[in-house]
Structure 1
C-alpha cells in the first residue's frame, strides 16, 4: 500500500491535488461538490482525482449516486504515517 500511496500522491503530476483531497477528507468526509468548492478546483478535476484514489483503494465512498460521500479507506488509515510523510514532501499549496 505504501508504494501505491507514493505513486498516486507524489509520483504523478496530479499527485499534489490528490494529496490535498486526502488531507481535506481526513478532517471530515465530503462529496465531490464540497471538495471542489473548498479546494478551488473544477468539479470534473475533483471527480477525476476521486476516481483515481478510489480505483487504488486510497478512498472509499458511499453507494449513493448523487452526493456520494468520500473518506479515506481502512487501508489508507493503516498507513496514515506514510500519507503524512508524503503530504509534508509534496507541495500542496
Structure 2
C-alpha cells in the first residue's frame, strides 16, 4: 500500500486510522492536520476517461474524500450535503432546511467542501447555489463506498 504525505512537517501532527469493521484491518491512515485538496494534489494530476460509473476513483482523490467524510465528526453531514446538491444545485439556506441543520453549520461544511474543491458556488452573489465539481461528479462511486463503510448516524 502506498502512503502519501498529507501534512507539513512543521505542523503539530496527530495520526489516526480508519479501520474496516469486517476485517479489523487499517483501511486508511492520516496524519492530521489534513490540508486542503489543492495543497495535497496538484491540479491536473487526475486523468479520467468516461463517467464515474465506468472508471474507478483515483486513489489520491479517494484518500482526501475519506479524510473529509470519515475522518471528522461532521463528515456525515458533508456527505449528506454532497448527495443533496448532486441532484439539484441549492443555496445554503435551502440545504439547511432540507437537512434540518442550522444555517451556520451548513455554511461551515460548505466552506470545507468548497476549499477542497468538491463543490463550487454557481455565482458569487448572496444566495448563490452550490453544485458538485466535475471531479466529484466523476467520483460519486467513491462517496457511496465510503458511506456504505461508515454508515449513517
Fold agreement, TM-score > 0.5: yes
Aligned to 2:104: 44
Structure 1: segments with no counterpart, 5+ residues: none
Contact 1:20 1:92 in 2 (8 A): no
Q: Secondary structure at the match of 1:68?
A: coil
Out of 19, 26, 29, which is 2:89 matched to? 29
Higher relative contact order (CA 8 A, sep 6+): 1
Q: Which has the higher helix share?
A: 1
Out of 110, 124, 127, which is 1:67 matched to? 127
Aligned to 1:81: 141
Query: Runs ≥4 in structure 1, deviation > 4 angstroms?
Result: none
Deviations 1:44-83 (A, max 9, x none): 0000000000000111112232111111111111211101
Distance 2:106 2:121 in 1: 14
Distance 1:28 1:88 in 2: 22
Distance 1:9 1:92 in 2: 11
Contact 1:18 1:49 in 2 (8 A): yes
Q: CA RMSD in A?
A: 1.2
Structure 2: segments with no counterpart, 5+ residues: 1-60
